Amino acid sequence: MRLVVLDNEAVQALQDPTHPKHRHVVSHAQVVASRKRRAVAIQVVVPTAVRVEAGWDRTSPAWVFPNRLRIADSPLDTPSASTAAGIRNETGVSVADSHIGAVIRSAHNDQITVVTSDPADMRQVAGDKNITVAAI
């Protein structure tokens, strides 16, 4: 199964129809939706620290559209927090990006794509994991 991970700007672009990258990120969501309809194994997740950074409150009406896209939370639980802390100590990236790194490193998926405005940081936080970067 391919795992698709969203970063902060991808989330913000998805939520805001006036964002210059909105259509680009919606295109990714549309491709995922079409593949799911064809029973292709693909899942989109948002690390919860990314959701905090982006201001994605699932109870807020402003986030109805992203809420309806079946994007699962990847929680910052105890093991993820420890991995993320290690990544942050190693690299100095943001808390949200460190959580993305923890999600990548703990994923058992054979294919991982990160939709991001910062490919270099994503490659850094991924460590030894092979990832595909969809730059927005």
Which residue ranges make up the site for another protein (CB under 8 A)?
2, 4, 17, 22-24, 26-34, 36-37, 65, 68-70, 113, 115, 132-135
Least distance between another protein and beta carbon 134 (Å): 4
Least distance between another protein and beta carbon 41 (Å): 13
State the residue for tokens 């790194």: 101
Least distance between another protein and beta carbon 82 (Å): 29
Q: Which is nearer to another protein, 48 or 113 (CB)?
A: 113
CB environment 78-95: b (16+ within 10 A), e (fewer): eebbebbeebbeeeebbb
Q: Which is nearer to another protein, 23 or 58 (CB)?
A: 23
Residues 133, 113: Cα–Cα separation, whole Å: 6
Whether the Cβ atoms of residue 106 and residue 80 lie closer than 8 Å to each other: yes
